[in-house]
Amino acid sequence: GQQVMQIPQYQHVQEGEDFTTYCNSSTTLSNIQWYKQRPGGHPVFLIQLVKSGEVKKQKRLTFQFGEAKKNSSLHITATQTTDVGTYFCAGLQAGTALIFGKGTTLSVSS
Amino acid sequence: DGGITQSPKYLFRKEGQNVTLSCEQNLNHDAMYWYRQDPGQGLRLIYYSQIVNDFQKGDIAEGYSVSREKKESFPLTVTSAQKNPTAFYLCASSIVGTSGNYEQYFGPGTRLTVT
């Protein structure tokens, strides 16, 4: 069946280091969304990418959608302690519901 | 104050009992969703509904049931047939567009413990 794989599962960084999480789909996606879940909280929408090769930035966060629309990445520059949480990608294939990856849990030590 | 509400935040039940989790939204969204979250498993779709009186099974629908009698409400019943019901349950909603569904808004979740 359709799958969205996300790596790594866990990542620990020192404050100020960069962080990247990768998302890969077995099928071509209509769009990809990214969510952040703080510890003890619920997922919150960050961004949606629709176009092949699209790159979007939100302050220190950079989101990319692959040319083949099968992969995506989220890169955080100079992490801060406020970045801790689990980051999920979620892919949408035409006619189906969103499929979430298992998430990457980021921890940051100061 | 618009949003999605789920109640209660924590719920405890004895094995063999059915339990219904509530989800209400006042965002006027057509689509609503139920997810189950277990440690290390991400979000797994249980059921979703894109219109009143219609819903579809997700990846792990066995042992669960839903209804969508009103646009604002999408309750989830965890039946005694669900083998491992202890989990964190998240409800979400979104608008539905011509190019697919849009961003999902999540409720605060209900943590169900069955002993």
Classify A100 as helix, strand or coil.
strand
Q: How confident is the model at residue B97 (pLDDT cuts 50, 70, 90)?
A: confident
pLDDT surpassing 70 at residue B99: no
* 3-class SS letters over B38-83: ECCCEEEEEEEEEECCEEEECCCCCCEEECCCECCECCEEECCCCC
pLDDT surpassing 60 at residue B1: no
Q: Do B101 and A102 touch (CB under 8 A)?
A: no
Phi, psi dihedrals of residue A39, rounded to the nearest 5° = -55, 130
CB pairs under 8 A between A and B: 55
- Taking the alpha carbons of B110, A48, B42, B77 in that order, is the dihedral positive or negative? positive
Classify A78 as helix, strand or coil.
coil
Q: Which of A3, A21, A31, A42 to mutate to test the interface with B (most CBs of B within 10 A)?
A: A42
pLDDT tens for residues B3-52?
A: 999 999 999 999 999 999 999 999 999 999 999 999 878 899 999 999 99
Q: Do B103 and A42 touch (CB under 8 A)?
A: no
In A, which residues are within 8 Å of B59 by CB distance? 1
pLDDT tens for residues B62-71?
A: 999 999 999 9
Angle at B9 between CA B8 and CA B15, to 5 degrees: 75
Residues of B engaging A, defined by a Cβ cutoff of 8 Å:
33, 35, 40-45, 48, 56, 58-59, 90, 92, 99-109
Nearest to B75 by CA among B46, B37, B104, B105: B46
Provide the token pair at A54.
């699209």
| Residue A19 exposure: Cα atoms within 13 Å on the Cβ side | 29
Q: What is the pLDDT along chain A (110 residues), one digit of tens a residue?
A: 668 999 999 999 999 999 999 999 989 999 999 999 999 999 999 999 999 999 999 999 999 999 999 999 999 999 999 999 999 999 987 767 889 999 999 999 99
| pLDDT score recorded for residue B41 | 81
Please give the full DSSP string across A44-77, using - where no structure is assigned: EEEEEE-STT-EEEETTEEEEE-TTSSEEEEEES
User: Which of B43, B56, B103 lies at the smallest CB-CB distance from A45?
Assistant: B103
In A, which residues are within 8 Å of B58 by CB distance? 97
Q: Do B43 and A43 touch (CB under 8 A)?
A: yes
| pLDDT score recorded for residue B101 | 63
| pLDDT score recorded for residue B102 | 83
Q: How far is CA A78 from CA A16, A61, A84, A110, B84, in A?
A: 4, 10, 12, 12, 40
Nearest to B105 by CA among B25, B12, B19, B15: B25
| pLDDT score recorded for residue B40 | 79
Radius of gyration of chain A (CA): 13
